[in-house]
Structure 1
């Protein structure tokens, strides 16, 4: 029951944060007991629900352990064997230029600690979570320098290239649509302005109502 009360308290704190507050509120769990046994026969201290309450108390009453990857030297990370590649990527994932990272990553991949499936997962992580401006070039260079995973990496590079082409086509089509729509709206406005002028409405009024310029009206006249 004590742990359930803690869960309720944490849920209330979460709702408080979701409402836009920046600091956690103090939530006081209160258990109202109306059972047959009196007094209440169980502990209301949630740490007592652990096998070792004293150890749990030390853990949850002090700052949590921290592994700050950002301050670990790359040379030390390289010695982490199977975890080296992932740790290195997590440290440098926000770099826009990953060219320097290739030099550090290649020896780790060549060491053979990772299967092709894991390498593919790591590369997908770079592409999806990273901020590199040219993921395709990064993957192609890895493919050239790590031949045992070359085929899998080249497949990813080709997929990225195709996505880039499709994105370019879509962008071009969208811009064409927007340009056509804009030109159509302009022609409609010019037609309205021409009609207004033909009906004797003065030029200043036409300019104010249509948003056209004197130059635009001159084109209508000619």
Structure 2
């Protein structure tokens, strides 16, 4: 994964300056989140989080903007991850998935018992229009339908504790 360090473009700096302000971020989310997701977000509870993540091999990487908020039901958490991109990246969907998983891990690490929903949003300002790549990470597989089935189903489990000993031998 590419490391993102300081803000490389004026667009990036402006993007960060505006969207790190909760009132502007709230307006952005009200406009750009799909209605079904917006309906479960309590936007009055927006809290800016660190977008810095460290992998097991101690490589650091950054998402642009990460907010946490409570659900409208009050029983869970949602994170909205907003990534600014000025050049197309054919693996952007996978990169956003990695950021989302890192945010989920951090959520568990601070003591929460359940995973939060993480809503990735790509804010694209590139010259090539429209954005040329899929924003669905499953489309990065050679067999997206099979990948979708695999990753939306329970994984195979071989539970030796419930197999009679005479069947194991």
TM-score (norm 2): 0.45
* Relative contact order higher in (CA < 8 Å, ≥ 6 apart): 2
Larger radius of gyration: 1
TM-score by length of 1: 0.34
> Which one has the bigger strand percentage?
2
